[in-house]
Each structure stands twice: as C-alpha cells, then as structure tokens.
Amino acid sequence: MKSSKRILALFICLTLVFSMLVGCSNGQQKDENNGGESEQTSSIKPGKYIGKASGYGGPIEVEVEMGEDKIEGITVLEHSETVRISAPAFERIPKAIMDNQTVNVDAVSGCTASSVGIKMAVKDAVEQSGADMDIFNKKLEKQEVAKTDEEKTAEVVIIGGGGAGLSAAVSSLENGAKSVILIEKMPALGGNTILAGGAYNAVNPEKQKAQGIEDSIEKHFQQTYEGGHKVANPELVKVLTENALDGVKWLEGYGLEWKEKIGSVVGAMWERSNQTVEPLGTGYINVLEKAALDKGCEILLETKATGLIMEDGKIVGVKAEGIDKNYTLKAEKGVIVATGGYAANPEMVRKYLSDGVYTKDNLPEKIVSTNAPGLQGEGIIMAEEIGAKVIDMEHIQLLPMPGDKFGPSINVEHSFFINKEGNRYVKEDGGRDEICLATFEQPDGQYYMINDSKIIPENRLTLSGEKLDNLIAKGTVVEADTLDDLAKAINVPAENLKATCEKFNSYVESKNDPEFGRAVWGEKIDKGPFYATLRYPALHHTMGGLKINTKCEVLGQDDNPIPGLYAAGEVTGGIHGANRLGGNAIADIVVFGRIAGKSVMGK
C-alpha cells in the first residue's frame, strides 16, 4: 500500500537527467557569452527546486533541476502513493514531462491522482524557478498511433489481471498448460483485488481456536447463504466455503504471509477474516504475478479484450486491442473471463436494478464507487454477445465506506458508528446492506466510525497498512486526545458522543447490545487519543454476472456449458446472492480462479 520511500525512489522512479535533443526553449534566453547583446530574456534562474503537491496517498515531493531554458532533471524524493498501482505514473509522468518540456502531459489511467500529484509537484518547482508557465504548461497535441495486426496462440487465454485471472493463470499452468496468455487492459495488474482491504474469509481452526473463536464450514456456508438472502446457488456457496482454507494454504505455498490474528471485516458477520501482512491487496497480486511469470505465463498489459471468437459453437479465442496492436489471440483449450464486476459503471448498475436490496428509487443519484476505473462490465457484455446467460444482475452491494475511507481499521470489533448527532443507529457487525440502508436514513447519509488508541500499533499503520498520520494530515481521520475534543473537531454534540460511548462500553462489558443486537465485541473504547473517520456508502460489488456451474464453465441460455468458455471472480453471478459478506470475495476469486484453471485443462 502506501509506503513512503525517500530517495529510494531514485531507484524505482527516476532521476532523468539528460540533454534534450530537440530544443524547447523557454522563450528568449539571456546569452551571457555575448555580453547580453541578444534579445534573449529567459526568466529561469537555473538550479534545483523542491516541488510539493498532494497525491492519492499523501504529499509528493520532487526535486526539479532547471537549466537555463529547460527542465533538466526530475527526481522523486518522497511519496506515499499506493505501491504497484502508482508505479506506471512514476515511470511515465516525469519522462513525459522531460520529453515534452511541459507539465501538461496526460495522466496515466488507473493512477490518475498519483499522476496529477506528480505533475503538480513538478509544476510547483518549475514555477519557483521563474520559468514562463505559458511554455512549461503548454497543452500537447494528441498523437495517433498506427496499429498493426498480430496473431498469437496459447492453450489458455485469460482476460483480466486481477486476483481471479492470476489465480486461474497459475492454476492452469499447475494443471499442465504449456502456454498461457493473460491480458489486462490497464497499465498495471491488480484490478479491484489490489485495492481490497485484503480480508479473506476462511474457517481457519488453528488460528481461530487460539483466539477462542468458535466456527465451522457449516456456519460459514449458512452465514454466506442467509446473509445473501438465500438468493445464491447453494452448490457454489458450498464450493466456496469448503475450499476457502485450501486457497489460504495454496497462496501461502507461493509465499503469501498471513497475519496471526483473525478478525471480522465490516459485513463479514463473523471473525474468520484472514489478513495479509502486505498492505491492502498487494500481497495477493505480488505473489500471484510472480507465480504466474515463474511458470511461464505471458502477460500483456494495456491490452483490452473487445470480443470473444466463436467457431462452430465453441469459444476459440479473443479479439483484443493493445497500444499499437490489434490482436487475435487463439486459445486452443479455452478462454477464461476474469474481468471483474461493473461497479465503476453506474449506468450499467442502474440498468439492471429492479427489486433487489437497492432499487432505482433508493439508490442515491450521486453515489461514488470504491472500484478501480477498469471495472466496466465488459466481460459480461462480451459473453452475453455470444449467448452466455447472466444471473442476479439486480443485486449490487454498497460498501458502507468509500475505498479511501477505511480509517484506522476496516474491522468492526474495536469500533462503534455514530451519526452526525452523536448517536449509534445500527449494529456495526450487521450486513453491509443493513448498515448502508440505515445510513441513508441518517443526517446527510453519513456516519463516523469511532476508534481509540488501543487499535493503533506502534508503527502507526492502519489495519490495511496505510500510514495513519497521512490519513490524519489529509483530514480522512480526525485524532483528538479526549472525546470532548473529538466531538468538537467533527462538530458532533459532545454530550451525545460521550453518552453513546459510555453506553457502548457497558455493552462491551456485558457482551450484550439491547439496542441493536450487536454480537462481535472487542475492547472498550476508552483510551485516548480517539479517532473519527467520516464514511458514507459507495458502489462496491456487483453480485450478478455470468452464470457458471461448479466447474466454472459459463452456461448458455439453455443452461448448458458453452464449450471453451470459463469464468471466475466478480464477473460471475450466483455465489453471493443479494448481499456479499465482507471478506468473501477474495476467497471467491482464489477458489474459483483455481477451479477455472483446472477445468480449462480438462481436469
């Protein structure tokens, strides 16, 4: 996740110091060698300047070396941007600025906020040099790239480089595939998986027993099925819950490190959320990418699938567009669709809403999404075009918080939620739909999660691995020594907040919540400093998608498998019903990604 890397950025990011072949003069330059007789009047004072701006994760600091008439070098000194997701921005933006001698270059898709942060930091430095910003902020002409056609053949072609696609790639190679091509339309792998809080639900008796947590696969099944309002296909739920722990061990075998403690991510309904040591979802992608590459998977980034190729009723390949290529990717054994959901496409979400938990009437008009921008539902559309059946499309999930408002913890055990009047209004360990629907009824449709210092570790990283101090600096999290100060800072009646906290602590003691029926308990919230994180519901997960059987074969309108076509991950429907339990999606993508990779190899 967010890791600050002072100077070290020299190695990963850049120090681009080179002479520009094409002169891009900053207006007229004063020529000191000829006694200043020329008309040159550059305003630049050559030297090194430090520029600062805000990125996605916190401040970005750059050093820009200005020559007499041009930018001669850019070095990123410090940033807290999301590791991996922001990497293409750090690789490309400074180089583009150098190459074009303007800060007005295009942002890199998938890491727009980091791109803008880098551009603004460089701009800040360039401005300090006295340069003419009409020149160094000039807009670039768009350049059309001529594309050539290319055909490639592999046994397996996988669309989508998130957790499901990568799990499927590794699994198909484990199951004997001699060649696998995985395409990802964004400049970096990861999709929603890398943004995830990282929670993976699996009954893990060894660790749970050590914490005194009673659990069973039957309970996980029951909670998943009933928590999803009994809409899901029970056979798929059975596969998910019975194989989740095996997925944990499988990832561990490829080097994934798990935290010792099992928690309960918001909406999980029970303490069975396994959490990785690496922040957010980075651990999953790091480990799976390495395993896939080690086994010989070919990964094509910035390559977007545009259609499935069907011959004689069988899927035999994929049409795709790269930056400079139009691909025909032939798949000898089959194609696995792992393009994720469509919660970044509100129009598509609304199109299918009918009588689920959320309807066209109760879904707020202006609603943000937690999703990566690539999650547009293309896999579903492409598969429907060749006759695939979709199910549960009316069921979507809102997360009770946007993706940048996880705060100190995405777990519920050491927190309570208050509305802007300072009162609790819902059981914090309830289903996500329950929390979101209750939140809509609160003033401004918002709430604060309240925590105390007991959950803040010495290194001041949040549970998801973010730097708490960056979140405080950005205003995402408010910190105060006392509840009175906290109430003042967030403009909530102090008497209400204190009374709510006192009552909540008495419930913690008795493990009984007579008001809302909460069942998951942590410690009392009574040790300052105290923390408040403002949150509100956001489009999060699309439970509907391609109809699959337990072998991940995609079914047609007649409910028979479409030969050669497989799907795994959020692109599928039938696993989570009308409401997904928090932490069940990561288990889903690993369990079903592995099955898809096995099935495509005929095993």
Ligand X SMILES: Cc1cc2nc3c(=O)[nH]c(=O)nc-3n(C[C@H](O)[C@H](O)[C@H](O)COP(=O)(O)OP(=O)(O)OC[C@H]3O[C@@H](n4cnc5c(N)ncnc54)[C@H](O)[C@@H]3O)c2cc1C
Residues forming the active site: 432
C-alpha distances (whole Å) from 204 to each of 19, 210, 242 are 58, 10, 11
Applying CB under 6 A, among 55, 165, 544, 545 the residue interacting with ligand X is 165
Exposed/middle/buried for residue 139 (C-beta within 10 Å: 0-12, 13-18, 19+): exposed
Site for ligand X contains 340 (CB under 6 A): yes
Q: Which residues contact 413 (CB under 8 A, 6 or more apart)?
A: 263, 264, 271, 429, 520, 521, 522
How many residues bind ligand X (CB under 6 A)? The answer is 41
Site for ligand X contains 567 (CB under 6 A): no
Site for ligand X contains 183 (CB under 6 A): yes
Least distance in Å: CB of 459 to ligand X?
21
418 close to 271: Cβ distance less than 8 angstroms:
no
| DSSP E strands, 463-575 | 477-480, 530-535, 538-542, 545-547, 553-555, 561-567, 572-573
Interaction with ligand X in 88-147: which residues (CB under 6 A)? none
- Tell me the β-bridge partners of 336: 158, 566
Distance CA 412, CA 138 (A): 49
Interaction with ligand X in 303-322: which residues (CB under 6 A)? 304-305
What single string gives the DSSP state of each residue in 297-335?
Answer: -EEESS-EEEEEEEETTEEEEEEEE-SSEEEEEEEEEEE
Tell me whether residue 192 or residue 442 sits nearer to ligand X (CB atom): 192
Distance CA 580, CA 398 (A): 10
Tell me whether residue 76 or residue 157 sits nearer to ligand X (CB atom): 157
Site for ligand X contains 186 (CB under 6 A): yes
Q: Give the binding range for ligand X (CB under 6 A) out of 52-60, 163-171, 449-457, 472-480.
A: 163-171
Applying CB under 6 A, among 71, 169, 180, 196 the residue interacting with ligand X is 196
Site for ligand X contains 265 (CB under 6 A): yes
For residue 44 the two structure tokens come to 């630049």
Site for ligand X contains 408 (CB under 6 A): no
Applying CB under 6 A, among 339, 439, 462, 470 the residue interacting with ligand X is 339
Site for ligand X contains 522 (CB under 6 A): no
Site for ligand X contains 569 (CB under 6 A): yes
Site for ligand X contains 465 (CB under 6 A): no
Residue 235: phi and psi, rounded to 5, are -65, -40
Tell me whether residue 327 or residue 504 sits nearer to ligand X (CB atom): 327
Q: Give the binding range for ligand X (CB under 6 A) out of 44-52, 89-97, 437-445, 577-585.
A: 577-585
User: How far does Cα 404 stand from its chain's mean position?
Assistant: 10
Site for ligand X contains 197 (CB under 6 A): yes
Whether omega before 373 lies within 30 degrees of 0, making that bond cis, reads no
Tell me whether residue 51 or residue 545 sits nearer to ligand X (CB atom): 545
Q: Which amino acid is at 296?
A: G
Applying CB under 6 A, among 60, 164, 248, 565 the residue interacting with ligand X is 164
Count helices and strands (H / E) in the chain: 17, 22
85 close to 10: Cβ distance less than 8 angstroms:
no
Q: Give the binding range for ligand X (CB under 6 A) out of 63-71, 366-374, 450-458, 497-505.
A: 366-374
Applying CB under 6 A, among 58, 227, 374, 537 the residue interacting with ligand X is 374
Tell me whether residue 123 or residue 576 sits nearer to ligand X (CB atom): 576
Distance CA 497, CA 493 (A): 6
Residues that bind ligand X in the complex, under the rule CB under 6 A: 159-165, 183-186, 191-193, 195-199, 265, 304-305, 338-340, 370-371, 374-375, 378-379, 403, 541, 569-571, 583-586, 589
